[in-house]
Amino acid sequence: MRSITRKHSHNSTRHCKLSGPDWGISDQMLDRTIDAISRRVTVCTDYHVPYLAGYSADGKTIYIDQDLPQSFVNRDGDTVMVHRYLMLHESVEKSLIDALHMHYQHAHQVALRTEKAAVLGDGVSWAEYDAFMQTWIKVAEDSHSLKLPPDLDLRPYIDEHDAELLDKMRATMKKVRSSERLAVKSSERLPARTSSRRALIARN
């Protein structure tokens, strides 16, 4: 069994011009593009994410559902690593929404085609890859867990007009943020209390 991503071992190497024209369609250039994106974002798999993947409000973190396996074995017996394709999709989608103020559905279509190009460029069957993803999208939809990132960008869910899911997500994220604020306030009070104790001991 070989890993499809065995060839992706250069994301820490110095950028250099590839052989051949760099202005045409190039699987190798797209591969390098994914590497460049991976150096600019953080991938987090600590949460449950409706629709399987999403991004933080500032775009610096790509969230991938914690139940999604990092890979699957295709019909040829090759291990296909999937997180890199989702990272590409979500990064492109987020950039289009933020920079060009596109609707989620429009940005999603561009991102989906970019994801497909990357999958095919690696010699992976899109049908197999998409079937794997659709299975896990359904798992994410059926999950009753709402362990959400506190800074998840909600615009994709707003554009989908799923009012029931959106209400639950907002309520859950509000609770998480409130808990985090309380934790911060408690930690900020600790040094003051310690100083007060030291002062009391000094006076005695």
Tens of pLDDT, residues 80-96: 999 999 999 999 999 99
β-partners of residue 53 are: 64
Tally helices (H) and strands (E) across the chain.
Answer: 6, 5
CA–CA separation, 133 and 124 (whole Å) = 13
Residue 146 Cα to chain centre, angstroms: 16
Tell me if residue 152 falls in helix, strand or coil.
Answer: strand
pLDDT the model gives residue 183: 62
pLDDT the model gives residue 22: 66
- For 14-35, the pLDDT digits (tens) are 556 656 666 788 999 999 999 9
CA–CA separation, 88 and 27 (whole Å) = 14
pLDDT the model gives residue 55: 98
The residue ranges of the chain whose pLDDT is under 70 are 1-22, 180-204
Distances (CA, A) of 173 to 18, 59, 199: 45, 17, 40
pLDDT the model gives residue 62: 98
Say how many CA atoms lie within 13 Å of 134 toward its Cβ: 6
pLDDT the model gives residue 124: 97
pLDDT the model gives residue 196: 47
With helix as H, strand as E and coil as C, how does 29-95 read?
HHHHHHHHHHCCCEEECCCCCCCCEEEECCCCEEEECCCCCCEEECCCCCEEECHHHHHHHHHHHHH
pLDDT the model gives residue 194: 46
pLDDT the model gives residue 9: 46
Q: Which residues contact 60 (CB under 8 A, 6 or more apart)?
A: 41, 42
Residue spans of the domains in the chain: they are 4-161, 162-204
pLDDT the model gives residue 178: 74
Q: How far apart are the first and last CA of the chain?
A: 73
pLDDT the model gives residue 25: 87
CA–CA separation, 26 and 85 (whole Å) = 16
Q: Which residues contact 16 (CB under 8 A, 6 or more apart)?
A: none
